[in-house]
Amino acid sequence: MKPLSYICFFAFCTFIAKANATSKKDEFWLEASTFVEVIEDRGNAYSKLTKLSALSKPILESSLVRLQLFEVNVQYLKIYGSLRELENYYNKHLHHFSEGHVFYISYYADYIMLHQLLNKSSELKKLLGELKTNPADSKNIFYLAINLFLNSKKKNYEKLMEVCSNECNFSLYHISIMQYLKSNEHYKELEDYAKNLLNGLISNNLMVSNIFFPQYVMAYYSFASKKMSKDDLSKKVFASSIEKAGEGSFIYKQLVNIMRE
């Protein structure tokens, strides 16, 4: 083969490789965009996760692809994996992402909650301390929210309210408020708060990125209903919230804990 032929052949191979990578990337994003639609079907979710893992291999140099693959794996493990499996995945992959990434802090907060479920109190305290930042830092809101979730004291509630008031709208914020109301036996307020969230979710007037957020809200509403002597309603709502969660999974454990006295 002549030199010019080598150049043409190399250019052709490069073109094919790039075209194939682009095709893989498009297919990856198409599959990833529909993952949430099958998350409640364990078999379909696992099949799609396997396919996404295969599609991602030639395009893993993209940080966006790595982040998306991380997210779908975490979502799957949260609802179907064991606590240890989720912990191992976090330990292996969470550090790959910059602390400045827009979604890093929410993953980190879940990582802290996971340590609570694993009863790793010393590590949990260390992780919480690392999250505490200058009050002017945007991460401080997440610190205040997770701190209230873990320690439902009035002073922690007031600190979060000073920063958030009615302006905050993220999963951990709402969950920490509901946990505070539950822990301090404000059952009517909890019922109203959870009911308003559910109405907002149903009407699409409330948008929260955590795909498991409705299950949390339903569990807190169920607990409040039980305390308000609405036992039949409580049982139906809780059964619906936990129906798809694998026994022993992160989501399963969180929902069971919500229902505990």
pTM assigned to the model: 0.87
Q: What is the pLDDT of residues 147-186, one digit of tens each?
A: 999 999 999 999 999 988 767 889 999 999 999 999 999 9
- Tell me what pLDDT residue 129 has: 83
Helix, coil or strand: residue 140: helix
- Tell me what pLDDT residue 200 has: 95
- Tell me what pLDDT residue 120 has: 93
- pLDDT below 50 — which residues of the chain? 1-19
- Tell me what pLDDT residue 180 has: 97
Nearest to 237 by CA among 254, 255, 250: 255
Annotate 119-151 with b (16+ C-beta within 10 A) or e (fewer): eeeeebeebbeebeeeeeeebbbbbbbbbbbbe
